[in-house]
Structure 1
Amino acid sequence: MVMPDIHNADPTVTPARDSHVDVLIVGAGPAGSFLAFALGRAGVRVRIIDKKEVRISAGHADGIQPRTIEVFQSYGLAERFLKDAAQVHVKAYYVSGPEGGIVRTILEPIVQGSRYPFEATLAQSGIEGLLRDAMTEDGVHVEQPKVPISLSLSADEAEPQTHSSEAYPVKVVLERPSASAPAKNGHNGPMSDAVKTASPAMGSANDTAQEVVRARYVVGADGAHSWVRSAVGIDMVGESTNFVWGVVDFVPESDFLDLRLSCAIHTKHGNCMIVPREKDMIRVYVHLEDVNVGDSGRLDGPQLGPDDILEVAQECFYPYKLSAPQGFDWWTVYIVGQRVASSFSVKNRVFIIGDACHTHSPKAGQGMNASMSDAHNLAWKLAYVIRQWAPSTLLDTYEFERRKFAQDLIDFDKIFATLYSVTPKPGDKNHERFLEASNTYGAFIRGHGVQYEASTITDIARKSVASGLVIGQRIPPGIIVQVADFRPYELHDLLPSDTRFKILILPGDTSKPKQKAKLDAVAAEIDHPEGFLKRFTPAGAPDDAVFDIITISHTSCAAANTLAIPPCLQSHWSKTFIDTETMCERIGGSLYASYGVSDAGAIIVCRPDGYVGMVAALDDSAAIGKYFAHFLHSTCVVDA
């Protein structure tokens, strides 16, 4: 299959330069920046370009859900993120009161049972800045302004069997705009001097030389109007609604007491939503009922401004006052639409992520979260195939998992956006239905309830072994105790996103001879030349290059003993833990119970992205080998 060039190069232009790269990312928003950071951290040769002259400085997406904070933590970014972000722990619901004005009906926590029991908000520019700073540590920089003008895919080298280290089948011609107009920052938002400096690779405005990039893989992270998606002929499937919303960011002056809470307000005057922001700001979403949507799906007539949006919000807030004496940081007007791409990849060589493959309303706070989760899912899979540790079929699971998620998100968003946009009428149950939907989809919204279906990398056959876990969901957090010094650890802190599979061996009480004997037998099988540890670790690589083994016994502090753990299961003394209450802090001791693991023990495989891949009985390490044989290259031939 050959993708046609969509632009014919001007023969008078200086001859193109030629370069090679593992992955070329088009678009440096949250999705593209996250992928560039993750791949750079994994040692992949990656380049990232963006057509904008500078990155955005205000507005756009801002909500980060608890699961995304967990992902940030797994990359060592959570502390930096939380330092600048606003935290939202409680949400409130308001409706029209019997005496006029609005009254609060419910006050409840944002989320329960999470390591991070809150949402956090930070402008998209702050997220992009965080990711750019982090990727720079691995020598990756955003090149901007730089635009792709043609893309073609070699028919011969695109076949699955040719996913070799020598194949660079995707050809992209890049060009730097010769005359770039000042970048616009949303709608009338101010441009920050802090982001006006060019990237190290920026070059002069008169540099129009083309460059030919030959890549193993190209990823389109270039937004809802993706150039990459169009270049490879992928369609967006879905529709727009007639719901129009306005958004304003500002530092408020108000007598409304719940400005620092997440508020959903349903009134006879219309609907609005408050989201607390960093630097004393709030974001207000307002449903605009008197705005016409044309047949083309675009707004008819003159567009409303921020003062118009605030005026509508003030009607919803009555009898409370709400004003913006310092002006507006950013604002926009948008039409709610829900669309999913017909495909997320072409021959596993060209991929799309983020808004390039799914668009939806922003009010459930899913935009950046879904986009960066796409990147998180794809990054380790690309790394494995590029390293020749896995066949190219591993890349099939990106679309399989993330397209199903995107469709689930759209289906949810259709319900949520409608409930948010319908003005309540006396006696109707819209508010109750809104609350019901919020509770029903709560785990999905927060990211904890995202579940991948059975596949080569998600084996649900033995789920009863750990009945408290949902295979295909992210592994839940929990406190365990390090044997050597009795120091408590959050399990998630032991599961960094370093592209390794985490093998959690839960042998039960190893002070009991029966369980100790079973653990010794497991260790012998794992350490055998045909065991999964040696079978799927590349020749010459360290023993822990692919697998990080962590042992968690169900033993008291008094009975704990690092010598009870076989040496092959201890790449370092810090890899041995117990599930018990700590002696000082009196925390922990519930991991086995919460995971539904009996005293017979279990083995849990946690994927590089933090999702449970499979579980097996303690004496069934052969099942672990069969699991990895489905998608990893073996160093030896073993009978199935």
Structure 2
Amino acid sequence: MGRVEDKVRRVDVLIVGGGPVGLVLAYQLAKFGHSSSIAIIEKHAKSSQDQYGRAITLYPRSTEMLDQLDLADELAQECFACRETVSYDKDGNEVQGRGWYFMENMKDTQWDFALVLRQKYQEEIFRRRLREEGVSLEAPVELVSLTVDENIPSGGHRITALLKDGVTGEEETVTCKYLIGADGGRSFVRRALEIPFEGSTTEDKWVRIDGIVETDVPKSRVYGAFESPTHGNVLWAALDHGATRIGFAFTAERQKGYSEFNEAAAVAEAIESVKPFKLKFTQVDWFTVYSVGQRVAKEFFTKDCILLAGDACHTHSSGAAQGMNTGMHDAVNLAWKLSMVLRGLAPSSLLSTYESERLPNVQKLINYDKDISRLMTMQLPVDWSGDPNADPNEILGTVMEEASTFTSGLSIAFDSNNVNVPGTFKSNIDPAPVMPGQRGPDVQLQKPGTFEATRLHKETPNIARFHAIVFAGEPEHTSVYLKEFSAAWEKSKMFSGVSPISWLTVPAKSSPSAYELLGVAPFGKVFYDKEQTAHSRYGINVKEGAIFVMRPDGWVGTAAALGGDAVEELELYFKNVLLMK
């Protein structure tokens, strides 16, 4: 091998961008067994880049996903857990049901609050946990060019990337099978591939400022809104470590008062924005002024080997605090699919479902964001057909409430495809409370023996494996179905070697012995649903039972009626998703 070739580094995956999305992607791939075959680079030296600002809020579904990756508990240790909200009108009077009020009604989840932790602290946790998995962020290292050799078959080292060390200036060539651009709104990866970034940037400018404050605001440690006649719908967010974020519209009229917008200007405008209340900053951690707009990349997956995630493929305002959350959804949707492809468990076509599942949800967010960002700037939506004199603050409350389950992430769902397949299971509730393509609710369960409380999400961690849950109902009624299924499964040769499926059995009562209760050997671990709340939440008749297949990321893949025929149904499902031997 020649000297030039000796300098070429070969990895399976190169992740470009060391923000939360890139870090969580890398962490998952490392956790799923790829630590020796991935690299993650960031062009900024993170020690100097770690400002306090940027994203702050994780909504319940994002936290659930991080919980299944064993990251949420650590975030919760440092966060400000926000369950209360308030809105004040222009005179400082509290008004009900407006602004962020929907946050008080985020139910059906253990994580029923906004987890507020500034990006600086989140990234510190993600970087450390990534190092513990054997991978370190390489920074400052910049991607300066990339080429794709389409003559090399898909799945080969088709991509050649030229990297430059930001300290020494030395260059290095890396070849990889897949490259992920998680490098922000000005993504080099997206621009290098000339992927259109469609949308618009408005003339509206917003300010965000974080720091330690003294104030006479009656409810100051909440997620709040001030309906200011001069600064729009002002954000007031209690932050971690005793800090506060204030965000407001910086109108053209207000801009005229400053030849330069500096920290003093940001402080002065923040003080004006919360009148009639008083405000004093004892410490400023960070501030920014930025233009509001919405853009979406035309493709999230191109050339069968390049993927975009986070701000690299969609940008929007921070009006609904969705930036970090949307990126987390991208990272979690993509990582298990990429891992299964790399391990030879799934065809590369599985990666196309990343774009087909995420893009419609991003577009839905953009549509909400267009309305929310205008209303926060005291303008009615572009296509508004109601009263032209309507109060934007009142309309904003309505729009935020309408978008609430989507904003919390709990209602984010995917259309039918190879991974989301309607099965033979029919709920006794109409409409069925849980369908394939929807989030699998995190129901309460009990461990055998101790009857210790646990949760479904704790027992179905995201380890890039599917989880098949046998809801066994009341065995005195379902034993015949359980025995039929057990016998058929014994004969099945669906998986040889290591199976990419973990099993759980959940009977709708408890017993001193799971084996005696069921009348057959349990499938995987057993957890009791003595109060039958889990069966009820999934819409399962306890006299019939059901089998739910959970995707690695916690969405329902399919659901079958309990019985012998379910084995053939599961075989067909997995043959369409995985490469079966």
2:408 matched to which residue of 1? Answer: 446
Alignment CA distance shift 1:319-1:552 (3 Å): same
1:334 matched to which residue of 2? Answer: 290
1:147 matched to which residue of 2? Answer: 142
2:536 counterpart (565, 568, 593): 593
Which residue identity lines up with residue 377 of structure 2 in the other structure?
S
Gaps of 5+ in 2: 381-386
Structure 1 residue 423: Cα displacement:
6.2
Is residue 479–residue 519 contact of structure 2 (8 Å, CA) maintained in 1? no
1:105 matched to which residue of 2? Answer: 96
Alignment CA distance shift 1:631-1:67 (3 Å): same
Is residue 562–residue 576 contact of structure 1 (8 Å, CA) maintained in 2? no
Which residue identity lines up with residue 385 of structure 1 in the other structure?
V
Which residue identity lines up with residue 613 of structure 1 in the other structure?
G
Mapping of residues 249-398 of structure 1, within 5 Å:
249-271=210-232, 272-290=234-252, 302-326=259-283, 328-398=284-354
Matched, 1:563 2:516: yes
Is residue 511–residue 517 contact of structure 2 (8 Å, CA) maintained in 1? no
1:554 matched to which residue of 2? Answer: 508
Question: For residues 61 and 116 of structure 2, what CA distance do their matches in structure 1 show?
Answer: 14
- 1:199-218 deviation per Cα after TM superposition (whole angstroms, max 9, x unaligned): xxxxxx33x33221110111
Matched, 1:577 2:527: yes
Matched, 1:407 2:360: no
2:456 matched to which residue of 1? Answer: 491
Gaps of 5+ in 1: 1-12, 178-204, 294-298, 582-588, 636-640
What SS does the aligned partner of 1:252 have?
strand
- 1:563-616 deviation per Cα after TM superposition (whole angstroms, max 9, x unaligned): 344766444xxx1122113xxxxxxx3111121111211110100001111111
Structure 1 residue 472: Cα displacement:
1.5
Alignment CA distance shift 1:566-1:128 (3 Å): farther
2:485 matched to which residue of 1? Answer: 522
2:554 matched to which residue of 1? Answer: 610
Tell me how large the CA RMSD over aligned residues is.
Answer: 2.4
Structure 1 residue 231: Cα displacement:
1.3
TM-score normalised by length of structure 1? 0.83
Alignment CA distance shift 1:300-1:407 (3 Å): farther
Alignment CA distance shift 1:567-1:234 (3 Å): farther
Mapping of residues 418-567 of structure 1, within 5 Å:
418-422=374-378, 428-462=390-424, 464-465=426-427, 467-512=432-477, 515-530=478-493, 535=494, 537=495, 539-541=496-498, 545-555=499-509, 557-558=510-511, 561-565=514-518
What SS does the aligned partner of 1:324 have?
strand
Which residue identity lines up with residue 554 of structure 2 in the other structure?
G
TM-score normalised by length of structure 2? 0.91
Question: For residues 244 and 291 of structure 1, what CA distance do their matches in structure 2 show?
Answer: 11
2:16 matched to which residue of 1? Answer: 26
Matched, 1:117 2:112: yes
Question: For residues 300 and 628 of structure 1, what CA distance do their matches in structure 2 show?
Answer: 63
Question: For residues 401 and 119 of structure 2, what CA distance do their matches in structure 1 show?
Answer: 27
Structure 1 residue 313: Cα displacement:
3.1
- 1:332-381 deviation per Cα after TM superposition (whole angstroms, max 9, x unaligned): 00111100000001122011100000000112111111112211111000
Structure 1 residue 249: Cα displacement:
0.2
Alignment CA distance shift 1:291-1:547 (3 Å): farther
2:122 matched to which residue of 1? Answer: 127
Alignment CA distance shift 1:323-1:634 (3 Å): same
Matched, 1:86 2:86: no
1:625 counterpart (556, 568, 571): 571
Question: For residues 253 and 175 of structure 1, what CA distance do their matches in structure 2 show?
Answer: 45
1:586 matched to which residue of 2? Answer: none
How many residues are matched?
A: 558
Matched, 1:46 2:70: no
Q: How many percent of aligned residue pairs carry the same amino acid? A: 29
Which residue identity lines up with residue 104 of structure 1 in the other structure?
V
Which residue identity lines up with residue 60 of structure 1 in the other structure?
R
Matched, 1:136 2:92: no
Matched, 1:37 2:35: no
Alignment CA distance shift 1:69-1:15 (3 Å): same
Is residue 65–residue 119 contact of structure 1 (8 Å, CA) maintained in 2? yes
